[in-house]
Amino acid sequence: MPSLRPTVLFTIVVSTIGATQLFGEPLLFEGSISGGISHQYQTLGLYMYEQGWGYFHLGRAAAIAWVTFVLIVLLVLLNTALARRRTRKGTRR
């Protein structure tokens, strides 16, 4: 199991990035950029697209993109810190 940690960490990071950038599936469910009548399918990617190209609020869409980027970086750093802490605890034993 210890030798699988880098693979598991990589899978978690890539899955997190993919989940935050989900766009096509919610668009196919409803067929509109609003994400459904009560926005039940709306994700960050779809919201960014709606703001930028639906309402032409390009500054707001750019801000959403930056916030998404910062969230991804924070999640990656958190995953890395947790993995290093677990690795250090495992080597002490």
Tell me the per-residue pLDDT of 63-88, one tens digit each, with 9 for 90 and over.
999 998 998 899 889 888 887 887 77
User: Which DSSP string do the residues of 29-60 spell out, in sequence order?
Assistant: HHSSTT-STTSTT--HHHHHHIIIIIS--HHH
- The pLDDT assigned to 93 comes to 59
Q: What is the pLDDT of residue 1?
A: 67
* pLDDT tens profile 22-66: 888 888 887 888 888 888 888 888 899 999 999 999 999 999 999
pLDDT of residue 87: 74
